[in-house]
Amino acid sequence: MIEVVNRQRKMPMNCERWEKFTTKALNAAPANGAGVTVAFVSDRAIRELNSRWRGKRVTTDVLSFPAGQNEFEKVGGLTLGDVVISVEQAARQAAEHDLSFETEVAQLILHGVLHLCGYDHETDKGEMNRLELRLRRRLGI
Protein backbone atom coordinates (compact mmCIF):
# COMPACT_ATOMS: atom_id res chain seq x y z
CA MET A 1 0.00 0.00 0.00
CA ILE A 2 1.18 3.48 -0.83
CA GLU A 3 -0.06 6.43 1.16
CA VAL A 4 0.81 10.08 0.57
CA VAL A 5 -0.24 12.67 3.14
CA ASN A 6 0.17 16.43 3.32
CA ARG A 7 0.81 17.57 6.91
CA GLN A 8 1.80 21.17 6.20
CA ARG A 9 0.06 24.33 5.01
CA LYS A 10 2.85 26.32 3.35
CA MET A 11 2.46 24.84 -0.12
CA PRO A 12 -0.34 22.92 -1.85
CA MET A 13 0.67 19.35 -2.66
CA ASN A 14 -1.04 17.07 -5.17
CA CYS A 15 -1.02 13.84 -3.15
CA GLU A 16 -2.54 11.82 -6.01
CA ARG A 17 0.28 12.85 -8.34
CA TRP A 18 2.92 11.92 -5.75
CA GLU A 19 1.22 8.60 -5.06
CA LYS A 20 1.57 7.74 -8.76
CA PHE A 21 5.22 8.78 -8.77
CA THR A 22 5.91 6.82 -5.57
CA THR A 23 4.41 3.73 -7.22
CA LYS A 24 6.86 4.15 -10.12
CA ALA A 25 9.77 4.69 -7.74
CA LEU A 26 8.90 1.56 -5.75
CA ASN A 27 8.62 -0.47 -8.94
CA ALA A 28 12.06 0.75 -10.06
CA ALA A 29 13.73 0.29 -6.66
CA PRO A 30 14.48 -3.07 -5.02
CA ALA A 31 11.38 -2.76 -2.81
CA ASN A 32 10.11 -6.34 -3.35
CA GLY A 33 6.48 -5.26 -3.66
CA ALA A 34 6.40 -3.38 -0.35
CA GLY A 35 4.49 -0.16 0.19
CA VAL A 36 5.51 3.12 1.78
CA THR A 37 4.03 6.23 3.34
CA VAL A 38 5.22 9.64 2.12
CA ALA A 39 4.48 12.61 4.38
CA PHE A 40 4.95 16.24 3.39
CA VAL A 41 5.72 18.39 6.42
CA SER A 42 6.96 21.85 7.42
CA ASP A 43 10.53 22.82 8.30
CA ARG A 44 9.54 22.95 11.96
CA ALA A 45 8.15 19.42 11.93
CA ILE A 46 11.16 17.89 10.16
CA ARG A 47 13.54 19.77 12.46
CA GLU A 48 11.74 18.26 15.47
CA LEU A 49 11.92 14.77 13.95
CA ASN A 50 15.59 15.20 13.06
CA SER A 51 16.35 16.32 16.61
CA ARG A 52 14.39 13.53 18.25
CA TRP A 53 15.56 10.62 16.11
CA ARG A 54 19.01 11.69 14.91
CA GLY A 55 20.08 14.16 17.60
CA LYS A 56 20.58 16.88 14.96
CA ARG A 57 18.77 20.15 15.67
CA VAL A 58 18.71 21.30 12.06
CA THR A 59 16.26 21.33 9.19
CA THR A 60 16.85 18.58 6.66
CA ASP A 61 15.17 17.74 3.37
CA VAL A 62 14.13 14.10 3.84
CA LEU A 63 14.05 11.52 6.61
CA SER A 64 13.34 7.81 6.28
CA PHE A 65 11.87 5.68 9.04
CA PRO A 66 11.99 1.91 8.39
CA ALA A 67 8.87 0.02 9.46
CA GLY A 68 10.53 -3.01 11.05
CA GLN A 69 7.26 -4.93 10.83
CA ASN A 70 6.71 -8.08 12.87
CA GLU A 71 4.96 -11.10 11.35
CA PHE A 72 1.55 -10.02 12.66
CA GLU A 73 1.90 -6.54 11.09
CA LYS A 74 2.98 -8.01 7.73
CA VAL A 75 -0.43 -9.70 7.41
CA GLY A 76 -1.88 -6.26 6.60
CA GLY A 77 0.66 -5.79 3.80
CA LEU A 78 4.39 -5.33 3.64
CA THR A 79 5.58 -1.73 4.09
CA LEU A 80 9.09 -0.36 3.97
CA GLY A 81 8.24 2.53 6.29
CA ASP A 82 7.85 6.29 6.07
CA VAL A 83 9.53 8.97 3.96
CA VAL A 84 9.11 12.45 5.45
CA ILE A 85 9.88 15.49 3.28
CA SER A 86 10.10 19.16 4.22
CA VAL A 87 8.40 21.01 1.37
CA GLU A 88 10.02 24.29 2.42
CA GLN A 89 13.51 22.78 2.30
CA ALA A 90 12.68 21.08 -1.00
CA ALA A 91 11.64 24.44 -2.46
CA ARG A 92 14.89 26.09 -1.30
CA GLN A 93 17.00 23.26 -2.71
CA ALA A 94 15.14 23.32 -6.02
CA ALA A 95 15.93 27.04 -6.37
CA GLU A 96 19.60 26.50 -5.34
CA HIS A 97 20.07 23.71 -7.91
CA ASP A 98 17.99 25.39 -10.63
CA LEU A 99 15.47 22.53 -10.64
CA SER A 100 11.71 22.55 -10.63
CA PHE A 101 10.07 21.95 -7.27
CA GLU A 102 8.50 18.78 -8.71
CA THR A 103 11.89 17.41 -9.79
CA GLU A 104 13.33 18.06 -6.34
CA VAL A 105 10.42 16.34 -4.59
CA ALA A 106 10.68 13.34 -6.95
CA GLN A 107 14.41 13.05 -6.18
CA LEU A 108 13.73 13.22 -2.44
CA ILE A 109 11.04 10.53 -2.63
CA LEU A 110 13.40 8.25 -4.55
CA HIS A 111 16.25 8.99 -2.11
CA GLY A 112 14.04 8.18 0.87
CA VAL A 113 12.77 4.97 -0.72
CA LEU A 114 16.34 3.80 -1.35
CA HIS A 115 17.19 4.39 2.30
CA LEU A 116 14.17 2.27 3.25
CA CYS A 117 15.47 -0.44 0.91
CA GLY A 118 18.60 -0.59 3.06
CA TYR A 119 20.99 1.69 1.19
CA ASP A 120 23.17 4.16 3.10
CA HIS A 121 25.22 6.67 1.11
CA GLU A 122 27.28 7.49 4.20
CA THR A 123 28.74 3.97 4.43
CA ASP A 124 28.36 2.15 1.09
CA LYS A 125 31.23 3.64 -0.95
CA GLY A 126 28.94 5.22 -3.56
CA GLU A 127 26.65 2.24 -4.20
CA MET A 128 23.47 4.14 -3.29
CA ASN A 129 24.49 7.21 -5.28
CA ARG A 130 25.18 5.13 -8.41
CA LEU A 131 21.85 3.32 -8.10
CA GLU A 132 20.00 6.57 -7.44
CA LEU A 133 21.45 8.21 -10.56
CA ARG A 134 20.53 5.15 -12.66
CA LEU A 135 16.98 5.17 -11.31
CA ARG A 136 16.63 8.93 -11.83
CA ARG A 137 17.39 8.41 -15.50
CA ARG A 138 14.96 5.49 -15.70
CA LEU A 139 12.21 7.54 -14.00
CA GLY A 140 12.91 10.67 -16.04
CA ILE A 141 13.99 12.87 -13.13
Average pLDDT along the chain: 93
Q: 122 falls in which pLDDT band (50, 70, 90)?
A: confident
pTM assigned to the model? 0.93
Q: Within a 10 A sphere around the Cβ of 34, how many other Cβ atoms?
A: 21
CB 83 within 8 A of CB 112: yes
Q: What is the mean pLDDT of residues 61-76?
A: 73
pLDDT at position 82: 96
**DSSP 3-state percent helix, strand, coil across the chain (nearest 5):** 50, 20, 35
pLDDT band at residue 70 under the 50/70/90 scheme: low
> pLDDT-based confidence at 141, cuts 50/70/90?
very high
